[in-house]
Structure 1
Amino acid sequence: MLTIGQLAAYAGVTIRTVRHYHQVGLLPEPERDVSGYRTYGADEVVRLIRIRTLADAGVPLAKVQELLAADAPTFTEATGVIDRDLRAKIRELQEHRRRIAQLASGDSLAVPDEVADYLDRLRVIGMPEELIAAERDAWILVAARYPDEIVAYMEEKVRQLEDPRVVHFYQLISQILADDEDHGHVVQEMADLLIEMLEEAAASGQLEQQDLKMDDSTFVQLLDSMAEAHPVVVELQQLLAERGWTGWTKVERA
């Protein structure tokens, strides 16, 4: 007859595992002998090995008791169900791995793939990480508030990058972020570019679509507060106001 340590060694498990199986009812706990010890025989070794084999195969412990008592057809059916569950779990884990791999750059955290792609496009045109991080944080909010619209927003942003003036505007921002010199003339040039593009958008009717795309005024104020944390944005807003425009996330004629 075997001690609990010998039983565990023969079955290839730990003593703690044997005790856990006792606790959950998978392995009957024998009575103590006259010496006060619990001893085990061949039947317990075989049962413990079967339990270990099922558990190692991924069978949940809650299902092990059922399989141990099942006839051949029931066993086959039950293992088929477990196999489907395991395959679904594998697919879920593979998707987690894919998402973790995307997070390596930091851009995919809480943003859709379309936003991450747009941020990569900003890198291609030479935008600094400080600017990209600010854009990413803003789009995290937009994607959370307007999940059904984010694809259309990104398509529009990508289309805008085809305009050399937009690229130049971003380059001017990069120039400001690159050093601490006085950039009054750069901000003025940025304002001129914005006014030119706003006038075109107003003439084509694009500005009228803003209310349809972003109809939550409180949310617009939230985005504006993020942008206005940078003094250059505040200066740009002042220059725009002098020429009859207000707002930032939603720019309108005063």
Structure 2
Amino acid sequence: MSPKRAPGSDGAASAMPGGVWLRAPRPPSAGGGAAQPALDRERIVAASVALLDERGTAGLTMRKLAEALGVHATSLYWHVAHRDDLLDLALDAVFGEVTLPARAAGDWRADVTAFMDGLRTALLRHPWSGALAGSRPLLGPNALARSEFVYAALVGAGFRGDDLSAAAGAIANYVIGTVSAEAAWRHGDARDETAGRRALLARLNGSAEAHPTLAAHPPSLRTDWEGHYVRGRDFLLAGLAGSRAGD
């Protein structure tokens, strides 16, 4: 017997990443009186995030999630169409951890800096989320609320049209990219990271003729990840500010 799927689970919107946000939600059932608390999306999302934190994206399956929730796997299909829904829901929950100020500062660079720093903190708290954020459309309500904040700040700075979307994309992609790189390098303990960098240095030294600039300016054995992020962030914002200077 095939499991019952959420509405629209066989449509194009369901098959694509982010499809969970494009599908009409299932109306609540009219039943009641269950001895166990009702399985709902909030519980599913919280358990998905916990599994992802513990095991990474490869460790999140419908079966393992059902075990964590103490339900049969088919029960999940009343709420989600497939595993991709879980990834989108969990990722948007991480974006919900980015605290937005109740009121914009009125200084677009201060507002964008606050967003970028908050997003970096939230993504680093969940090491799987950076790479995932770079591979899926960010269509959930929490992600859209943060995009609204950034767009409003940039519109206030004078960005419009293609410049606006490019600037907003550069801001988000910088944070997501640096977090993904940091998480990749720091997947183990500090000794693993140092060993990896030693191997990189040895490779560059061994191929100095092919890569003379890289060999002459190698990365350090221990990266100041926060300092590296801040310098790049400030370069990016200075460049965006400079692009408005002549307007």
- Pair in the same fold by TM > 0.5: no
Taking structure 1 as the reference length, the TM-score comes to: 0.21
The structure with more helix, counted as a fraction of residues: 1
Q: Which has the larger radius of gyration?
A: 1
Q: Which has the higher contact order (CA 8 A, sep 6+)?
A: 2
